């Protein structure tokens, strides 16, 4: 369903409601901030009109800006030097027409700006940390869309920010704890010779599609992957990731000389000793690398085991070594371990799971969102996993080269387990 029209009705900068104290105005980047990608992360929260049919959208908009200004006094780095870009738009269709059969190109029209813009030259990208758009649909439904830079914020931090902003908006400011911006204390920045934010090459046409795994499909995948060597059954994310990884390899059947690697972003907060609280904001993640050699037959159980082992490697000792050794030494040893035979090309499939993020807790006073999505990334071979609203299923947003997607979505096993 194409949106008939989008009319941007207002644009402004939102500043913190009280000035940021001088000692806090310069945020120290951590080592993990230094190496994080330069793209913006898109998130869209949809709210049905039926949840609060009598709401005055004008007063609701004023309250939203007021609460945003208030939350920025706590999340002061998100305001940056200029403030938060805030806009409102009227969308010429019903909300249901967008969410019932979502298309990533349509969803991108709801974002504050095109997230792929300026990626080829990250050093001259947009100056804002965060941009927000309130989309008002003909039916009375609303969608709050965010673009937030990954240079300072990971997905977990972004979801916590929205949940706390929502609490202030609905009048529950007493439930909002103060965020911590101290990741540089745990991962001090380093002078890394030759480190430069990589430019994103957008030569290939990439597309994103959503594949939904029901509770029953996930149960079947977990059952298939359960073997005696596993101490406990595979998690939902392990089972779905392994299945999609295998499907990804199936679209490259003749690449016998390649090594296929599944890369999972791992939240480090719970891996540290002592663990960090959810209030720890910033980039606090690292990647786990699972490898499938081309000559090994890739059963689902084998792939699940590879993924589990790679994620379990990210423990408190691993984090301690990362803190001490830094990125160059750690990366060198990691790739040396998993690189396989010299000279062989590695094909990566990159996973990030938002299944435990509190995205459906973002109640602004209109009820919890009817749907939340993070529609796409500007890279090929990327999978974003999100829990469905009922908490039982998983939505997989898969981004591939256009020709690869044509083969991927015709896969019979994928078709049988998704909708």
Q: Given the residues 103, 182, 279, 363, select the one marked as catalytic.
A: 363
DSSP three-state, residue 11: strand
Alpha-carbon gap, residue 144 to 165, rounded angstroms: 12
Q: Report which DSSP code applies to 233.
A: P
Alpha-carbon gap, residue 69 to 347, rounded angstroms: 44
Give residue for tokens 């007021």.
66
In the numeric block, which tokens belong to residue 62?
């004023």
DSSP three-state, residue 280: strand
150 is catalytic: yes
Q: At how many degrees (to 10) do helices 236-250 and 300-312 cross?
A: 120
408 near 398, Cβ under 8 Å? Answer: yes
Alpha-carbon gap, residue 18 to 72, rounded angstroms: 9
Q: How far apart are the first and last CA of the chain?
A: 17
Q: At how many degrees (to 10) do helices 57-71 and 155-169 cross?
A: 120
Burial class (CB in 10 A: 0-12, 13-18, 19+), 176: middle
328 near 192, Cβ under 8 Å? Answer: yes
Return the H-helix or E-strand segment holding 132.
strand 130-137
363 is catalytic: yes
Alpha-carbon gap, residue 227 to 301, rounded angstroms: 7
Q: Given the residues 150, 299, 330, 338, select the one marked as catalytic.
A: 150
Alpha-carbon gap, residue 206 to 212, rounded angstroms: 20
Residues in the chain: 419
Beta strand extents in 191-281 (DSSP E only): 206-213, 259-267
Chain centroid to Cα 3, Å, comes to 25
339 near 347, Cβ under 8 Å? Answer: no
Give residue for tokens 């910033």.
282
How big is the chain by its Cα radius of gyration, in Å? 22
Report CA torsion sign: 417, 101, 113, 116.
positive
Among 401, 413, 419, which residue's Cα sits nearest to residue 243? 413
Give me the active site residues, please.
150, 363
């Amino acid at each position: 369903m194409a949106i008939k029209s989008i009319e941007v009705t207002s644009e402004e900068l939102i500043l913190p409601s009280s000035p940021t104290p001088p000692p806090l105005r310069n945020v120290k980047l951590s080592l993990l901030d230094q190496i994080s990608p330069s793209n913006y992360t898109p998130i869209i929260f949809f709210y049905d009109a039926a949840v609060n049919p009598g709401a005055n959208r004008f007063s609701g908009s004023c309250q939203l800006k007021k609460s945003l200004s208030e939350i920025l006094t706590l999340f002061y780095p998100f305001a940056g030097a200029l403030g938060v870009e805030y806009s409102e738009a009227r969308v010429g269709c019903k909300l249901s027409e967008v969410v019932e059969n979502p298309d990533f190109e349509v969803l991108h029209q709801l974002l504050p700006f095109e997230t792929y813009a300026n990626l080829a030259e990250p050093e001259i990208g947009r100056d804002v940390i965060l941009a927000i758009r309130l989309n008002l649909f003909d039916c009375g439904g609303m969608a709050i869309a965010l673009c937030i830079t990954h240079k300072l914020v990971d997905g977990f931090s972004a979801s916590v920010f929205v949940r706390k902003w929502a609490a202030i908006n609905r009048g529950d400011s007493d439930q909002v704890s103060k965020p911590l911006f101290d990741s540089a204390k745990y991962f001090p920045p380093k002078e890394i010779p030759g480190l430069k934010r990589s430019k994103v090459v957008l030569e290939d046409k990439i597309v994103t599609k959503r594949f939904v795994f029901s509770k029953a499909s996930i149960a079947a995948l977990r059952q298939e992957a359960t073997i005696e060597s596993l101490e406990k059954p595979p998690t939902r994310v392990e089972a779905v990731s392994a299945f999609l990884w295998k499907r990804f390899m199936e679209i490259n059947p003749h690449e016998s000389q390649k090594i296929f690697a599944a890369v999972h972003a791992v939240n480090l907060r719970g891996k540290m000793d002592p663990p960090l609280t959810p209030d720890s904001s910033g980039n606090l993640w690292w990647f786990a690398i699972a490898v499938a050699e081309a000559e090994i037959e890739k059963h689902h159980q084998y792939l699940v085991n590879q993924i589990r082992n790679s994620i379990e490697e990210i423990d408190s000792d691993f984090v301690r070594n990362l803190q001490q050794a830094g990125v160059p030494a750690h990366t060198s040893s990691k790739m040396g371990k998993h690189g396989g035979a010299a000279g062989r090309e590695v094909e990566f499939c990159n996973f990030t799971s938002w299944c435990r993020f509190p995205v459906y807790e973002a109640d602004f006073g209109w009820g919890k969102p009817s749907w939340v999505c993070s529609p796409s990334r500007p890279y090929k071979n990327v999978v974003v996993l999100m829990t469905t609203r009922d908490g039982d299923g998983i939505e997989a947003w898969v981004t591939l080269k256009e020709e690869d997607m044509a083969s991927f979505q015709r896969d019979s096993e994928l078709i049988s387990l998704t909708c």
